[in-house]
Structure 1
């Protein structure tokens, strides 16, 4: 791959940035597939994280938040699926700390450089004998098996690798995540990880992550539920050799753009892979009073069960979009709203227009549906992503533990 410009940002085949190693293993938390692994940087990396606001925050999430907030630096993260280690009381906290210590010993690093991430069934004790055996079997390789080992009801891994040039140095950003159900984040998604070989201070990385999450992961919804284990974490080990990034660096905007592309792509992947989903739905709001209200309306529309069911049924029932808009507290010109679906205008000045019902219904059968809303109340905009609501969603969640 050849870059033609210092500011080029190119999507490329999945690869770890310089200095990162990973591995995965099957320990028996789930049947017949890898369910545990780790990601390791050969040098301590600047780190940042955002975490679920659910009051029942899981022990591994709490521990990772505490670890990263103490010095914004980690060197490894150990992950498992099949068991959330959530709502397990003091023993859950002890088990999370034990995972941290076992991994640190195996890697010969300080426990305070190890983050923990778990996902799966809530309220079941973590089988520590299996966990310890799994960690002891993990190696340092270039495997991407960890991107599958963290999956629960996901239908496929969600990954992206971008390359760009920062201060005349090639920089790689790789992201992967899991999330399919219990997705209505107020921070991030179920589990998301971004690693880069760029040099950037931890405090700057934390600021960038927080801002970017608000524009990406916080703008997706599958089912209106927020997990106890939601977390997005970033590591930057600096091995690309660029000048440490901040707002004064001339190439900082390039890194910010690439970083947002990574998080946006992962957020869209989660929305499109919602439990039982058959369609990715994007809602674009214009004419909002301010950006916050534009984001609020976009997420309200994409998160409405009536809208989601309408899209699943390929029914151009635009009244469901209107009710979702009206339930928000955003400024709206109630006599001037416009609504379009897949490029066809259905509503103008808050009343129906003439449109080809069959054409719109046919377009609603596509794998991607775009709804455009103009609130006619200002000049700001907002975007959110979600999916349709299908029979399969109920089927999956009616028997999640079995």
Structure 2
């Protein structure tokens, strides 16, 4: 497997476009269109929040129907959540606009929205945007990059990646884009993420791979402890790589799943690092846990604690905050087994050893914690399981951004 240039248009047969529809923003592109020349098998994971956006319910219906997906239309600025029947009607109007413009069934058109909850979408602008973008769909890498920019809200950078790998002599490509900066504490996958691949694969196996991979990628990031109403990950596979269709969990399936893991982890970490107001990527690695669930719970508790996040921002090697978060995580362990270290590009420093604090070099600790990526490394010494979670520091700017999000 190798990383290549591009995102959602890197795989064969995929095109993208974007436009400024002025859904809410007046100074940027705010709609994106991703289209496959052929109908795709699809997979998806969605928010566990009981309050689900209209677009989430629309996309779940497509994924669970077993039918094909051929396009996805995304808008930023307004989330289309808590919008009643009018919100669902906006989804259908968007899909039918794509049907009219491209001659594809509206039931194969997914929709996604991100932005302010509780506002109605301007349907006339949505439809006009779809009609405009349908005439500019393009398979270039630039078109994919511009699409990744159009779905941003408070993100400071766009997020995209593509990889290629070999399956039975055929070159397969997998690309993706995502957005997410705040309201990030997924219990399914993430905010918005879209994956495109030309692999030929059975729909059931595609869904199994996606559902499994998100557990250790998108499900392991947190910015602020808030699970969005709009969390959506969609994966479309059109089969144009012409590999022998994957219908069982063989070596080809494992190869694809490894590529999927790489792409999803990359996008997840990009989102964690770009958390609202963040200045650092905050990583927690837990090894030696009793089981995988404990490892996941412990690592997510560390990066999810506001006190831990504040300590990372302040470069304060206050290891007690991280141990405290582990203690209320719900995982059962003996603190007298735990070892805790701080790590970064500047080095590694042990600060807690099996129930006993260690006298450590505060200057070295400060040097380690000043880096752009800081890791809290924990050895539970109770088993073989491990997990990694990603988050960011908590800065003054987080409050500033969210104090006037609607304006």
Tell whether 2:294 aligns with 1:293.
yes
Q: Which residue of 1 aligns with 2:138?
A: 141
C-alpha contact (below 8 Å) 1:72/1:202 kept by paired residues: no
Deviation track 1:196-250 (CA, whole Å, cap 9, x = no partner) reads: 0011111111111000011110000000001110000100100000011244443
Q: Which residue of 1 aligns with 2:224?
A: 223
Shift of 1:72: 4.7
Matched position secondary structure for 2:244: coil
- Structure 1 segments, 4+ long, off by >4 Å, are none
C-alpha contact (below 8 Å) 2:77/2:153 kept by paired residues: yes
C-alpha contact (below 8 Å) 1:73/1:202 kept by paired residues: no
Shift of 1:263: 0.3
Distance in 2, matches of 1:246 and 1:382, equals: 29
C-alpha contact (below 8 Å) 2:67/2:108 kept by paired residues: no
Matched position secondary structure for 1:378: coil
Deviation track 1:81-111 (CA, whole Å, cap 9, x = no partner) reads: 0111111111111111111111122110111
C-alpha contact (below 8 Å) 1:278/1:388 kept by paired residues: yes
Alignment of 1:27-42 (within 5 A): 27-29=21-23, 30-42=25-37
Q: TM-score, normalising length from structure 2?
A: 0.95
Distance in 2, matches of 1:248 and 1:33, equals: 44
Matched position secondary structure for 1:63: helix
Distance in 2, matches of 1:174 and 1:320, equals: 38
Deviation track 1:42-89 (CA, whole Å, cap 9, x = no partner) reads: 000110000001111000110011011101520000110011111111
Alignment of 1:260-279 (within 5 A): 260-279=261-280
Structure 1 unaligned regions, length at least 5: 1-8
Matched position secondary structure for 1:396: helix
**Aligned with residue 93 of structure 2, among 84, 90, 98:** 98
**Aligned with residue 3 of structure 2, among 1, 8, 11:** 11
C-alpha contact (below 8 Å) 1:220/1:385 kept by paired residues: yes
Q: Which residue of 2 aligns with 1:45?
A: 40
C-alpha contact (below 8 Å) 1:333/1:376 kept by paired residues: no
C-alpha contact (below 8 Å) 1:163/1:170 kept by paired residues: yes
Q: TM-score, normalising length from structure 1?
A: 0.96
Shift of 1:354: 2.2
| Matched residue count | 394
C-alpha contact (below 8 Å) 1:181/1:223 kept by paired residues: yes
Shift of 1:251: 2.3
Give RMSD over aligned pairs: 1.0
